[in-house]
A = this chain, B = another copy of it.
Amino acid sequence: MKSYTEELWFNTANRQEFVNITSQVEKAVDKSGIKEGLCLVNAMHITASVFINDNESGLHRDFMKWLEKLAPYGKDKYEHNVGEDNGDSHIKRTLMGREVVVAVTNGELHFGPWEQIFYGEFDGKRRKRVLIKIIGE
């Protein structure tokens, strides 16, 4: 069995942002030399997500609006916000998910026609990490 580990760093310009990381994950699969296996990609911070969806800007705005409706930003809205203001970010990350697991087949991410991997930042403007772990053969 082979394994491969890589951390990606982010520092987004905005508090909330989606970043397409598909090509970075593809490069990691290449570097791993793994032909058949599983690839875990997860946010290492608890106010950020990794998720798979469409690379379409209208949809991304829909997601952001929907998240704001379900978990609005606000210093006085969350008990967590004592000296912090990211209560909403923890909930937004929960809705979008911490991680994805993607199959590796014939040395490539085994994707459907529109699948793309995104980093979802909900409390940005600081350095944060994503982990890629691939195991297989």
Q: Are B94 and A51 in contact (CB under 8 A)?
A: yes
Binds B, one of A13-21, A23-31, A75-83: A75-83
Rounded to whole angstroms, the CA-CA distance of A91 and B66 in the bound complex is 9
Nearest-neighbour CB distance to chain B for A114, whole angstroms, equals: 5
Q: Are A36 and B3 in contact (CB under 8 A)?
A: yes
Q: State which size class the interface on A falls in.
A: 35 or more
Q: Are A46 and B115 in contact (CB under 8 A)?
A: yes
Q: Which A residues from 76 to 98 make CB contacts under 8 A with B?
A: 78-82, 87, 90-91, 93-98
Q: Are B3 and A135 in contact (CB under 8 A)?
A: no
Q: With a CB–CB cut-off of 8 A, which chain B residues contact A37?
A: 1, 3, 135
Rounded to whole angstroms, the CA-CA distance of A111 and B1 in the bound complex is 22
Q: Are A98 and B52 in contact (CB under 8 A)?
A: yes
Q: With a CB–CB cut-off of 8 A, which chain B residues contact A110?
A: 5, 131, 133
Given A3-B137, A44-B111, A45-B114: 4 more A-B contacts, CB < 8 Å: A42-B102, A63-B94, A105-B133, A112-B131
Closest 5 CB pairs of A and B: A44-B112, A103-B133, A58-B79, A59-B80, A3-B36
